[in-house]
């Protein structure tokens, strides 16, 4: 299994290097193969991670918690790579954008590499470095459209992301200081060492480290009040990048928070870290719920939906019950598939109708025989409608909240999710159901490549909602034990 870790770390980089030189048709194939193979490699890790830890070369380490987030990134990497083949196709009369396409393929592979690398890092220092790389690469991808709006969004993202990562670096320093008091100054911030020594760590620096980590990595996660970069970046980025930002990058940043949560819970007890996450989670859910009403840009609408779902994750972890933690892990995967589908569907609508403004998009179901219904299914999935995976995950989170006695927070979660669904549904219904202006013409998909990965996403959501495979259930069980502080 350790060889898989090395191949998973090298493959996207090799694909990016190949895209520097090979003809663009070959670059499309290389990236698509890299994405699909990367997901297959992550799937191969599931049985081993469900029963223990896989390590290699001191700096590579994955356990059940790592693999959950690798699955989200691996799936979206493969789906987005295939989708991008159609996304970058030029129609009749359009000028080819060879330079743009080459930069896109290189950036996409490097971005995916950084997000795959982060959960495989064996210590907090390397984890911070990997997430810093995601910031640099994703900012360049946000600005790749070379418009004033894209440049402004990328600049805002860099400023806020850098400030957040500065706080996260400070959290890393406090964690090192706490560990050095027990383990000596030569230790390397390894997870296993910190978790083993956690009961003996001084409380004050661990409390500071955890709060700073939630603020710092929470900036990349999109938690309120450090979320303000997210709607602009998601709106201005190319659609495949928006899908990766929302379904994968936010989740990987939340993974970093969970690593600090493990240490804080073992060192301080559960009350302090859970209360911190509850405050940030409720604020994120409620603010996003309000912003979902009256949005004018379809991609900004989906961006605020992402803030909502990151709040759900934080609330779920704050409940602490095994059912809620299992629901959080399932939610990570289901949200990746559903939000990836939603952004990819929105990208087809924008391509077909030439606008991101909700008031200008009409007749989606009439004009798009596949993407219209698939976009509607993505909306249902994001609204936690059965039988999709987000219904199952949110049901488990609420059940865990009730089991743990957090009745008020569970009630806020139910009300917030319901209201958010109505805000999302109001806009999307207009986009899909209202008749197109004039007679329906050219009822066809822009490209079949933009449909296939969305169909795969729907199938994944059905599997997660109806009957998750036994291997995945075992993986969740092991990850819940890790989050509950029972093993390191």
pLDDT in tens, 190-218: 888 899 899 999 999 999 999 999 999 99
Residue 440: pLDDT over 60? no
> What's the mean per-residue pLDDT of the chain?
93
How sure is the predictor about 70, in pLDDT bands with cuts at 50, 70 and 90?
very high
Question: What pLDDT, on a 0 to 100 scale, did the predictor assign at position 372?
Answer: 93
- Going by C-alpha positions, the residue among 418, 430, 141 that lies closest to residue 295 is 430
Could you read off the pLDDT of 262-276 as tens digits, one per residue? 999 999 999 999 999
| Total number of domains in the chain | 1
Task: Tell whether 353 is covered by a domain.
Answer: yes
- pLDDT classification of 364: cutoffs 50, 70, 90: confident
Report which of 78, 459, 479, 486 is spatially closest to residue 255, judged by C-alpha positions: 479
Best CA proximity match to 11, nearest among 135, 109, 107, 121:
109
Task: Give every CB contact of residue 418 below 8 A, 6+ residues apart in sequence.
Answer: none
Q: What is the pLDDT of residue 427?
A: 86
**pLDDT interval class at 487 (50, 70, 90):** low
Higher pLDDT, 183 or 164: 164
pLDDT band at 439 (very low <50, low <70, confident <90, very high): low
pTM for this prediction: 0.96
Mean pLDDT in residue range 76-95: 86
Residue 40 makes CB contacts below 8 A (sequence gap 6+) with none
Long-range contacts of 434-443 (CB under 8 A, 24+ apart): 434/362, 434/363, 435/362, 435/363, 435/366, 436/362, 436/363, 436/366, 436/367, 437/362, 437/363, 440/363, 440/366, 440/367, 442/367, 443/366, 443/367, 443/368, 443/369
Lowest mean pLDDT among 3-12, 188-197, 220-229, 404-413: 188-197
Do the Cβ atoms of 280 and 388 come closer than 8 Å? Answer: no
Q: Identify the pLDDT of residue 161.
A: 93
**Distance in angstroms (rounded) separating the CA atoms of residues 188 and 306:** 34
The answer to whether residue 488 sits within a structural domain is no
Report residue 28 as tokens: 């499309």
Give the pLDDT band of residue 57 (cuts 50, 70, 90): confident
pLDDT at 25 over 90: yes
At which residue do the structure tokens 């169909």 appear? Answer: 455
Per DSSP, 121 falls in state B
For residue 93, name the pLDDT band (cuts at 50, 70, 90): low
* The predicted structure's pLDDT at residue 438: 60
For 273, the domain range is: 2-483
pLDDT at 142: 95
Q: Classify residue 16: in a domain, yes or no.
A: yes
pLDDT of amino acid 486: 56
| Residue with tokens 């659609």, as numbered in its chain | 239
State the Cα–Cα distance between residues 108 and 206, nearest whole angstrom: 36
Q: For the residues 239-250, what does the mean pLDDT come to?
A: 96
């Amino acid at each position: 299994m350790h060889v898989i870790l090395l191949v998973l770390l090298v493959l996207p980089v090799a694909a990016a290097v190949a895209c520097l030189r090979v003809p663009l048709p070959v670059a499309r194939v290389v990236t698509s193969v890299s994405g699909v193979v990367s997901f297959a490699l992550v799937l191969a890790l599931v049985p081993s991670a469900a029963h223990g830890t896989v390590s290699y070369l001191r700096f590579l380490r994955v356990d059940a918690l790592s693999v959950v987030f690798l699955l989200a990134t691996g799936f979206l990497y493969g789906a987005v790579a295939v989708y991008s083949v159609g996304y970058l196709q030029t129609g009749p009369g359009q000028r080819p954008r060879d330079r743009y396409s080459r930069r896109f393929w290189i950036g996409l592979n490097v971005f995916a590499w950084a997000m795959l690398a982060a959960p495989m890092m064996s210590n907090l220092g390397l984890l911070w470095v990997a997430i810093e790389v995601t910031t640099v690469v994703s900012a360049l991808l946000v600005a790749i459209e070379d418009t004033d709006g894209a440049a402004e969004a990328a600049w805002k993202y860099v400023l806020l992301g850098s400030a957040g990562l500065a706080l996260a670096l400070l959290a890393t320093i406090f964690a090192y200081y706490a560990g050095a008091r027990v383990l000596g100054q030569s230790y390397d911030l390894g997870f296993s060492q910190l978790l083993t020594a956690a009961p003996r760590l001084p409380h004050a620096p661990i409390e500071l480290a955890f709060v700073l980590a939630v603020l710092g990595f929470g900036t990349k996660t999109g938690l309120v009040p450090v979320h303000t970069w997210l709607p602009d970046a998601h709106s201005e980025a190319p659609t495949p990048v928006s899908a990766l930002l929302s379904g994968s990058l936010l989740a990987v940043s939340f993974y970093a928070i969970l690593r600090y949560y493990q240490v804080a819970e073992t060192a301080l007890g559960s009350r302090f870290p859970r209360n911190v996450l509850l405050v940030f989670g409720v604020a994120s859910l409620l603010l996003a719920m309000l912003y979902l009403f009256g949005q004018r840009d379809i991609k900004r609408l989906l961006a605020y939906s992402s803030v909502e779902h990151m709040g759900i994750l934080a609330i779920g972890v704050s409940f602490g019950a095994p059912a809620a933690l299992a629901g959080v892990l399932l939610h990570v995967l289901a949200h990746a598939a559903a939000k990836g589908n939603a952004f990819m569907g929105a990208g087809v609508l924008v391509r077909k109708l030439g606008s991101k403004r909700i008031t200008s998009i009409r007749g989606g179901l009439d004009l798009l025989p596949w993407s219209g219904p698939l976009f509607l299914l993505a909306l249902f999935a994001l609204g936690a409608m059965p039988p999709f995976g987000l219904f199952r995950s949110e049901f488990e989170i609420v059940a865990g909240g009730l089991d743990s006695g957090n009745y008020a927070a569970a009630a806020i979660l139910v009300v917030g999710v319901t209201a958010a669904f109505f805000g999302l549904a109001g806009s999307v219904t207009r986009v899909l159901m209202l008749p197109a202006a004039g007679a329906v013409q050219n009822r066809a998909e822009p490209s079949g490549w933009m449909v296939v990965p969305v169909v795969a996403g729907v199938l994944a959501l059905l599997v997660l909602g109806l009957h998750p495979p036994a291997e995945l259930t075992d993986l969740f069980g092991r990850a819940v034990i890790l989050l509950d502080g029972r093993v390191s």
